[in-house]
Amino acid sequence: MTQPTSLLAAARELYASIDARAAKAGGDPVPAETVEALRRAGLFGAMTPRELGGAELALVDAIDVFAEVARADGSTGWCLMAGASAVAYFGAYAGDEFATRLFANGVPLVAGQFAPNGTGIPEAGGYRLTGDYQFGSGLHYAEWVGAGFLVPPSAGSDAPMRYLFGLVPADQVERRGNWNVLGLAATASWDYGVRGVFIPEGATFLFAAPTRRRGGRVYELGVIAQTAAGHAGFALGVTRRALDELTAIARTKVRMGGGVFLKDDPRFLHALGTLESRFRSVQAWVREAFTRIERTVHETGRLDLRENNEVRQATVHVTQEGAEIVRQAYLLAGTTALRDGPLQRCFRDIHAGSQHFFASPASTLDYARDLLAAATESRR
């Protein structure tokens, strides 16, 4: 394990205040005081290139930071990892003029969805964007909003459509305020619309093949692996908090008819030891997979596609396994978990996170195909 970074130390110092505000806020959006504290501590710049004022952390170190904040509160951790990864992309891939503008006052607050739910019509110097988007986590405080969009080919051309990411000022999007959900409620992941907004060419980059303009070789990994790091950190943090809460409950709780404290019940102890083992196993794979893909890109300057599929699958596994671990912790805690509190919040948040694309089985299929291909190659 690497030595704690200054950002990880800052995240640990903020734990108690993030947790307290989250408990008080309930399902209201992540409090402004929490957002400002994260910003002052530099946490939104965890993945941003150093030359733009970010920390440009190694992926495993960024995962540790996101996990620590998610341990304090899942919604806050989710917003942080989404915003920190999104702004890092534009720090690395945006045109020089736009990057200068974007980072003029430090690392900005970014939110938004990058699925290709919009259409960009080419104009001189950029695109005219119209689209409808969902899951704008952190939209309530964002200064810039991201949008994925497709650019149709010119008339008569048989060229494929291009898939771009772009940023627009937050005051140019329509917030729809319709986030009524079971978990991650405080992310305020509202739907939003963009209607005829002009995006300069320099405020965009190609999803599949972004050009690195700033920062180190880690940005050659592109969007998928770096986004996966954020989701893996979220899942690790929420799962860790659930196990910590269960351990605390065990010291003082007697289940009806049980006769002894949970901490003295051999069946409970076996269950707790098994859950902790499962957590440490998925944590170890996450760290191993992300360390390997970053080492490879630093050595070769290129993304290894099989390693990309591995980090995607490690992220799927930690999220889905985390949901099962938290579910078991919820059941073991009995009616204590039924009441409002950190364990209930973990249960709701991890299950909400398990519905995301980065926790979907599509990655598992790609990973399995790689395993079969590698096995075939090894026999030659």
- Per-residue pLDDT at 376 exceeds 60: yes
Q: What is the pLDDT of residue 37?
A: 98
Surface-to-core class of residue 3, CB atoms within 10 Å of its CB (0-12 exposed, 13-18 middle, 19+ buried): exposed
Mean pLDDT estimate for the chain: 96
Which comes out higher in pLDDT, residue 205 or 259?
A: 205
Residue 89 one-letter amino acid: Y
* Mean pLDDT, residues 173-198 taken together: 97
Residues 58-117 have pLDDT tens digits of 999 999 999 999 999 999 999 999 999 999 999 999 999 999 999 999 999 999 999 999
Residues 181, 75 contacting (CB under 8 angstroms): no
Element (H, E) at 168: strand 162-169
- State the residue for tokens 């099989």: 306
Structure token pair of residue 326:
């938290």
- Per-residue pLDDT at 379 exceeds 90: no
Give strand ranges (E) for the chain.
Answer: 110-123, 126-136, 144-151, 162-169, 174-175, 190-200, 204-206
- Per-residue pLDDT at 1 exceeds 60: no
* Mean pLDDT, residues 146-158 taken together: 91
Which comes out higher in pLDDT, residue 157 or 332?
A: 332
- Per-residue pLDDT at 4 exceeds 80: no
- State the residue for tokens 């627009």: 168
Split at pLDDT 50, 70, 90, the class of 255 is confident
Q: What proportion of the chain, given as a percentage, has pLDDT over 70?
A: 99
Domains of the chain by start residue, with CATH: 6-102 (1.10.540.10), 110-206 (2.40.110.10), 217-373 (1.20.140.10)
The span from the CA of 204 to the CA of 192, in Å, is: 19
Residues 159-168 have pLDDT tens digits of 899 999 999 9
Q: What is the pLDDT of residue 3?
A: 53
If we measure between CA atoms, which residue out of 145, 347, 148, 141 comes closest to residue 241? 347
Q: In the chain, count H helices and then E strands.
A: 11, 7
In this structure, the chain runs to a length of 380
Which comes out higher in pLDDT, residue 31 or 156?
A: 31
Return the sign of the alpha-carbon dihedral for residues 82, 286, 43, 300. negative
Q: What is the DSSP letter of 361?
A: T
Q: What is the pLDDT of residue 242?
A: 98
Q: What is the pLDDT of residue 158?
A: 84
- 362 CB contacts (<8 Å, ≥6 apart)? none
Residues 326-362 have pLDDT tens digits of 999 999 999 999 999 999 999 999 999 999 999 998 8
If we measure between CA atoms, which residue out of 92, 156, 147, 93 comes closest to residue 120? 147
DSSP 119-154: EEEEETTEEEEEEEEEEETTTTT-SEEEEEEEEPPP
- 212 CB contacts (<8 Å, ≥6 apart)? 92, 93, 219, 220
Q: What is the pLDDT of residue 10?
A: 98
* Whole-structure pTM value: 0.96
The order of strands in the sheet holding 204-206 is 174-175, 190-200, 126-136, 110-123, 144-151, 162-169, 204-206
